[in-house]
Amino acid sequence: MKPSLNKTKLRKSSDRGYVHQGWLESYHSFSFTGYYDPAHMHYSVLRVINEDVFEAGQGFGMHPHKNMEIITYMLQGELRHVDSLGNTSVIKAGDVQCMTAGTGIVHSEMNASETEAVHLLQIWIFPERKLLEPGYKDQHFTQAQKQNRWCLIVSHDGRENSLKIQQDISLFATLLAENESLDYMLPAHRSLYIQLARGEIEICGQHLSAGDALMADGSKEFTFKALTQSEILLFDLPIHHSVDIMQQ
């Protein structure tokens, strides 16, 4: 069963907010700092997807967060993390980091290399409730785990050895080889957000290039076909219209 397109929305990479501030190049899928678009404040509980590139040796010094679930998906390079809970780590391509800001956390994120850039996606999710206990965890997911299949990397219950966060989402990743196809059945009363990290794909007759996003809701089956080797993130979310940003 192929979905009708009346509830499917494509957002091109070029429509995102763009910031280039010295060492940082960043594309914003939703309103963030100096980029404001009232039509793109959030999607369901998804508040931020920033595609960031840090120059060698650069990054953000210690800064605070509160009442947000923060996911970092590494695409290239090495990122050094230090936080007020005493955690220190260096995360690399294939790693996923989850941080519960809750009542408050302070952290830094710096490019650990003096020669290579860092390329990542930083994702913010509204938590199920405020003032949670802060927490941190990271995990590596191999290429084999993601190759031509949906690999669950983040969930609300930690199933299938995924990272657990405090919100009713399922975040999948796949590395889809050229000409390979993969299906996903979106349950009723759920919303779908696709972020194409790399490559070119076709969904529902629509062509997506790197940086593009697709949004949909309802009970539908989606078929993803890779036109080139592609890396895809799929968010299975609470139905979009059920989330009031003013209540978050």
Annotated binding site for Fe cation: 63, 65, 107, 109
Beta-bridge mates of residue 163 = 154
Which of 93, 137, 135, 90 has the alpha carbon at shortest distance from 109? 90
Could you tell me where the DSSP H helices lie in the chain?
143-146
Q: Which residues are annotated as a binding site?
A: 63, 65, 107, 109
Q: Tell me the Ramachandran region of residue 205: left when phi exceeds 0, alpha when psi lies from -120 to 50, beta otherwise.
A: left
Contacts of 227 (CB under 8 A, 6+ apart): 178, 179, 199, 200, 201, 202, 207
CA gyration radius for the chain? 17
Rounded to an integer, what distance in angstroms lies between the CA atom of residue 155 and that of residue 162?
A: 6
List the helix and strand counts (H, then E) for the chain. 1, 22
Q: Are 124 and 66 in contact (CB under 8 A)?
A: no
Which of 217, 231, 248 has the alpha carbon at shortest distance from 42? 248
Question: Coil, strand, or helix at residue 117?
Answer: coil
